[in-house]
Amino acid sequence: MSNERAPVRRPVTETKPHAVLVMGPGVREQVFGAAALERLDELATVHDEVLHELTGPAADRALAGAEVLVTGWSCPAIGADLLERAPRLRLIAHAAGTVKTFLDPEVLRRGVRVTSAADANAVPVAEFTFAAIVFGAKRVFSLAHRYRTEGTKRDFSGMPWLGTHRITVGLVGLSRIGRRVADLLRLLEAEVLVYDPYADPAEAAALGVAMVDLDTLVRRSHVVSLHAPDTPETRRMLDRRRLALMMDGAVLVNTARGALVDHDALLAELTRGRIDAILDVSDPEPLPPGHPLFGLPNVLLTPHLAGAQGNELARLAECALDEVARYRAGRPLRHEVTADELDRMA
């Protein structure tokens, strides 16, 4: 969802802003294709080297004239002290999701505008989640294992329930991803329950979801899908007691953060075969080789791939460059991050 705010206070001139790419080794090549780099050259005067670190004379020279930083994965820490070395800095356009991992909120309070491509990254995560819900409800992984090991075709014996039509799906977190998943679930005519203490009730009503407490959500949902950030309040929110509340045959989908779940308690439930799980994240991550979760037929483990991968990465570059274009034209930014939002980011 767009988040338009006041126009950027920048005179509209023909002068290009000076931009510096700041990201980990290989990230520019991974995220920015030839067309994206050409567009960036049209929008800004781009420093000829990507900064992987923000220390040393070379970084000082690049930062001295920088008006825009285009950042990406593995971006080094950016704190208020950097503003002394980059006195002209006005915009940080992040070509990835969360900025919490590298950005000191003081930078925002000092007046630097910050944008994130989290909305663009939410698209593939929501698609992955929807696919996981469908496959989980159809018992794809358990039945594929049974077919492979026993040779039985369409043997549904022992399944407490099967299918997607009008199931109840519980979304823990009405984040940008949660909202997209809720919209996709209309295709299943699903009842959607949401637990999110920060959610706007009007927005929830517009999406057609029902706000409930977390215990009610886990007890009533055929599928529980996690979309909350990792904070002290959310850590282990699905503990032993709440996992025990899940109905027999329920499916847990986690594309958010492994720390949201007590993995010892989850392993116990999964080993009993009482519930199923599709886990794109874990705690710890990655799991050590030979971990018991790898051998369970009712569990699918994927290596944190729900977010943008391959050709999906182009969306991240496009989002960041769109914001640079808006900044240069003095137009409102669409994906600006505030200090309050930064606190709630995953």
Residues known to be catalytic? 257, 285, 304
Identify the CA nearest to 250 among candidates 321, 341, 343, 159.
159
Enter the tokens of residue 59.
């970084």
Query: What's 193's DSSP letter?
Result: E
Buried b (16+ CB within 10 A) or exposed e, 139-171: bbbbbeebeeeeeeeeeeeeeeeeebeebbbbb
Report how far residue 62's alpha carbon sits from residue 69's, in angstroms, rounded to the nearest whole number.
10
Bond prior to 232 in cis (omega within 30° of 0): no
Q: Which of 344, 343, 346, 304 lies closest to 106 in space, CA to CA? A: 343
Q: Alpha-carbon distance 199 to 204, whole Å?
A: 7
Residues 276 and 272: their CA atoms lie apart, in Å, by 10
- Report the distance separating Cα 183 and Cα 180, nearest Å: 5
Please state, as a whole number, how many other Cβ atoms lie within 10 Å of the Cβ of residue 318. Answer: 18
